[in-house]
Amino acid sequence: MSSCHNSHTNMDINGAETKTSDTHLPKKPKLSPSFISVPEIQSEFSHHDQSIVRINNGSFGCCPSAVISAQQNWQLKYLSQPDNFYFNELKKGILESRLVIKKLINAEHVDEVSIVDNATTAAAIVLQGVAWEFSLGKFKKGDAAVMLHYAYGAVKKSVEAYVRRAGGYVIEVQLPFPVNSASEIVSEFRKALERGKSNGRRVRLAVIDHVTSMPSVVIPVKELVKICREEGVDKVFVDAAHGIGCVDVDMKEIGADFYTSNLHKWFFCPPSVAFLYCRKSNECEDLHHPVVSHEYGNGLAIESAWIGTRDYSAQLVVPKVLQFVNRFEGGIEGIKKRNHKIVVEMGEMLVKAWGTHLGCPAEMCSSMVMVGLPVSLGISSESDALKLRIHLRENFSVEVPIYFRAPKDGEVNLVTGYARISHQVYNKPDDYYRFRDAIKQLVHDNFTCSLLLL
C-alpha cells in the first residue's frame, strides 16, 4: 500500500469535491464570492443626511459613492479634452450603457434601447409619435387612448398635451384602492377598452403603468398587454418609471411596443437617466427625440445620444452601476427580492402597531408598500396628506410620502391616509421603528391634521 499517497475526499468552501493527500499540501480552497458588507454599504451611502430617516427611495432613488466618483471621472474626461471626449468617447460609452441595458431587460437588439433623461422624456417621445399619427391621418380624430386613472400626473399632462390635443379621446381606467387582487384591475381595464371601442371608435393607444406611483401598486402588465393585443390596440406604452430593480423587467415576456424605466430610481444611477425600449418590429423609425439636433433621422437611439452640448455623465456610468449591484448576492435580482421581502415585513409590522391594513396584498407590492394610517389622524384632503408629510419631516425627521384616499359615499371611519414606504439597501429596521413610533406619538397626543396650517 502506498501509504504516502493515502488520499481522501473533502468538500471545498463552494461545496465542490477536492482530493487531498497526506504528502501534498491541499489545494487552496476556492473562496465563495465575498459580497458587500454592511459597513461597506453604509460607507457607499454616507453622503445621505444621517439626521433623516429616509424611507422614500421611490421618489428620487439613490446613488452610491462608487458611482458618484465614476460619474465625476466622466465629467473630468469631458472637461479635460472636450473634443477627444466628443469624437472618441461619448458614442462608444453610450453604446456600452445600452448594451448593458439590453441584456438586463432581455431586448432582442441593442437598437431597441435608447437612453434618455427620464421617464417623462420617454413619455413625450412616445406620445409625440402618437400625435403625428393623428396629424398624418393614420389615426382618426375621436380614436381612443386608454390610460390608468392612477397614471403619473406628469404623464397624464403629456397625454393631454400630445394625444388629446391631436384629437384623441382619452379614457381613464378607474382602479379600486385598496385593491385585493390583480383580477380587479384586469376587469376595470377590459371595461375601459369596451368603452374605447364603442361608437365605432378604435383604441389606438394604451398607457399602462408597471408600478403606479401613488397609490403604489404593481399592475399586471403582462396580462394587460395581452388583452390589448387581443383587442387590436395599435400601440402599447408601459410607463415603468419604477421598473428596473423594483419589478421583473423582461421585454420579451411583457411584449409591449414601448417600455420606459428610470435607472435613477431603483438602479443606483445618478440623476437622471432612463431607457426607452421600442420594439424593433414596430415603427420605431417614426419616433423622434423632442429635442432635435444633428442626429435627427438617424434612429431614436442615436438621436437621443446627442441632443446638444450637455452633461452626459449619468448615461455613461451604467456599466459601473452594474459592477456595484453585482457586489450584492444575486445582483440586481437579489436586491429586488430582498427589498420586496423586507418592505412587506416592515409594512405588516406597521399596520399591526397602528391597527390598520396594507393597501394591497404582498404580491401586488414592489419595493414599496402602501401602509394605512390611523383614522384618528383625520387625513381628509390632499392638503392634509402634504401637511402631515411636512410635519413628519420637520418634527420627527422622517421622510415618507402620504396618500389621501377620498372616502366613497356612505363610507365612515375608514382609512383615508396611506404612507408609501420604500426599502432600499441602505435602510435599517430602525428606520421603520422610528416611523412607527412617530405615528404612535401623534395618536397618543390626540393630533389631527386639522391642527396644522400649510
Ligand X SMILES: Cc1ncc(COP(=O)(O)O)c(C=O)c1O
Closest CA to 217 of 122, 120, 150, 147: 150
Does 120 participate in binding ligand X (rule CB under 6 A)?
A: yes
Q: Write down the number of H helices and E strands in the chain.
A: 17, 14
* Type of residue numbered 264: H
Q: Which is nearer to ligand X, 158 or 427 (CB)?
A: 158
Does 239 participate in binding ligand X (rule CB under 6 A)?
A: yes
Partner residues linked to 262 by β-bridges: 274
Q: How far apart are CA 245 and CA 105, in angstroms?
A: 11
Residues 247-266 that bind ligand X (CB under 6 A): 262
Q: Which span sits near ligand X by CB under 6 A: 152-160, 301-309, 310-318, 371-379?
A: 152-160
Q: Which is nearer to ligand X, 262 or 356 (CB)?
A: 262
Q: How far apart are CA 392 and CA 400, in angstroms?
A: 8
Give me 297's grid cell. Answer: 433621422
Q: Which is nearer to ligand X, 154 or 353 (CB)?
A: 154
DSSP alpha helix (H) spans, 136-181: 153-158, 165-166
Q: Which span sits near ligand X by CB under 6 A: 19-27, 117-125, 172-180, 303-311?
A: 117-125
Does 57 participate in binding ligand X (rule CB under 6 A)?
A: no
Quickly list DSSP for 234-284.
SEEEEE-TT-BTTB---HHHH--SEEEEESTTTS-PPS--EEEEE-TTS-G
Q: How far apart are CA 225 and CA 248, in angstroms?
A: 15
Closest separation between CB of residue 367 and ligand X, Å? 13
Does 242 participate in binding ligand X (rule CB under 6 A)?
A: yes
Closest separation between CB of residue 154 and ligand X, Å? 6
What separation in angstroms does the CA of 118 have from each of 12, 72, 208, 386?
47, 20, 17, 25
Closest CA to 439 of 387, 384, 369, 391: 391
Q: Which span sits near ligand X by CB under 6 A: 11-19, 69-77, 114-122, 229-237?
A: 114-122
- Write down the residue that cell numbers 446627442 correspond to: 306
Q: Which span sits near ligand X by CB under 6 A: 19-27, 29-37, 79-87, 237-245?
A: 237-245
Closest separation between CB of residue 58 and ligand X, Å? 7
Number of residues that bind ligand X (CB under 6 A): 13
Closest separation between CB of residue 153 and ligand X, Å? 9
Q: Which is nearer to ligand X, 217 or 371 (CB)?
A: 217
Counting every residue written for the chain, the total comes to 454
* Type of residue numbered 305: A
Candidates 74, 78, 139, 152; binder of ligand X (CB under 6 A) is 152
Q: Which is nearer to ligand X, 249 or 442 (CB)?
A: 249
Closest separation between CB of residue 237 and ligand X, Å? 11
Q: How far apart are CA 96 and CA 284, in angstroms?
A: 21
Residues 177-216 that bind ligand X (CB under 6 A): 209, 213
Q: Which is nearer to ligand X, 241 or 439 (CB)?
A: 241
Candidates 154, 170, 351, 353; binder of ligand X (CB under 6 A) is 154
Does 364 participate in binding ligand X (rule CB under 6 A)?
A: no
Q: Which span sits near ligand X by CB under 6 A: 94-102, 116-124, 182-190, 328-336?
A: 116-124
Give me 101's grid cell. Answer: 441595458
DSSP code, position 232: T
What is the phi/psi pair of residue 245, to 5°?
90, -5
207 touches 151 (CB < 8 A): yes
Interacting residues with ligand X (CB under 6 A):
118-120, 152, 154-155, 209, 213, 239, 241-242, 262, 272
